[in-house]
Amino acid sequence: WTVLIRKHAEVIVEDEVVFPVFQLHCK
């Protein structure tokens, strides 16, 4: 379970970092 939660947290962090950068490139 701990591994699952850690992987999920990593994905959330990546989304929060990548999404704003992705928006900047789209503009």
What's the burial of 22, exposed, middle or buried (CB within 10 Å: 0-12/13-18/19+)?
exposed
Domain ranges of the chain: 1-26
pLDDT tens-digit readout, 1-27: 688 878 887 887 777 777 777 677 666
Structure tokens at 12: 């959330």
Confidence (pTM): 0.35
pLDDT at 14: 76
